[in-house]
Amino acid sequence: IFSYYIQKYSAFTHEYLLGYDSEKDYITIVYLSKLSSIYINANQKKYDKAISFYNEVIKFDSANQEAYVNLGIAYRENGNVDQAKKVLSDAKNLFPQNKLIQDNLKACEEAELDKIYDAASDLFNKGEYQKAIDVYATVSPATFDSNSGIAACYKSLNNDAKAIEYYKKALNLKADSDIAYYIGVLYSETENWDNSKIYLKKAIQINPKNQRAKDLLDSVLEQCNVKLLDDAITLFEKKDYANSLVKLNAILKDDLKNGYAYYYRGQIYDEQKKYALAIADYKKAVVYSQDLAIGYYMIAVDYDTLAQYKNALINYKKYVSLTPTTNEFKTYSNTRIKQLKKYE
């Protein structure tokens, strides 16, 4: 049946091409369109002929939107993506409301990008990372995939700074949990704990089920808090209590079970004569850190200061029971235990 129609329409078109009059114009366009459609569909796939006939249709009917669409498809299927894009771009300017033209233009653009990505991926798999970067860089404007591809190449070249730069560009184009996680990993590898924490939290915010990000975040928070605690202790020893308190509060914002942060914050409250607050923190310190028996001594001293002798006695005894070796604090505690015996 298709051979019959091709012969029929070809005969008519041959007559038309030899000479036609204006009365045949409409019929000619219809026949040209039918013939072109047969060539492009039904397993004929004779795209060169379809392209030729669709171009003729457009010459005589420049408002034929379907012809532009099919001409673009024919060019694309024939491997000439650039020409397909040109035809469809022109059509989009002529018919800006035509969704079919828009969709086919997008398909052409995606097909062109796929060729670039495939070529870059092949180079990456061969270990030719710089060449892969050069291919990815031809994508304009840059996309999520081109930026993340360049980032992966730089990572393989051990250029972490550039990898982070391009992963961030990718993340700006699309909120992707894995990309945020990769950035967090790269920052953690350079011990930039603060930035690692930021991007791992972002990864989890985007995808709460990202277990890799959760696991790494736990480790990063621990490292981050170790540094913060060291800084806080240094500031405390310099009697810079205000800034020390800021760092301790930052630790406890992320880790509510950090015994040492509570212990040193308690010491700052003692210096500020905020004994009730200090006691509350020391109590948390001894719960979360079993090696902080000294916390019981601090609680006892503060209760002593507040004249709450019974509570003081309980905590002096607790400290002594947990301290096997003699030191000045244990000696003082034993003395106070004797003096407060009547409060038993």
CB 164 within 8 A of CB 183: yes
CA 251 to chain CA centroid, Å, is: 25
198-246 pLDDT tens trace: 999 999 999 999 999 999 999 999 898 999 999 999 999 999 999 999 9
What are the pLDDT digits (tens) for 271-328?
999 999 999 999 999 999 999 999 999 999 999 999 999 999 999 999 999 999 999 9
Say how far apart CA 96 and CA 102 lie, in whole Å. Answer: 8
The C-alpha atoms of residue 99 and residue 105 are separated, in whole angstroms, by 10
* Residue (of 41, 40, 33) closest to 13 by Cα position: 33
Confidence of residue 74 (pLDDT cuts 50, 70, 90): confident
**Per-residue pLDDT tens digits for 21-72:** 434 444 444 444 444 454 444 344 567 777 777 787 788 778 888 878 888 8
- Give one word for 205, left, alpha or beta, with left for phi > 0 and alpha for psi -120 to 50: alpha
Tell me, yes or no, if the pTM score tops 0.75: no
pLDDT at res. 24: 42
Task: For residue range 125-164, list pLDDT tens digits in order.
Answer: 999 999 999 999 999 899 999 999 999 999 999 999 999 9
Residue 48's Cα: distance from chain center in Å? 45
The pLDDT of residue 81 is above 90: no
Helix (H, G, I), strand (E, B) or coil at 256: coil
| Closest-CA residue to 152 (of 123, 189, 112, 172) | 123
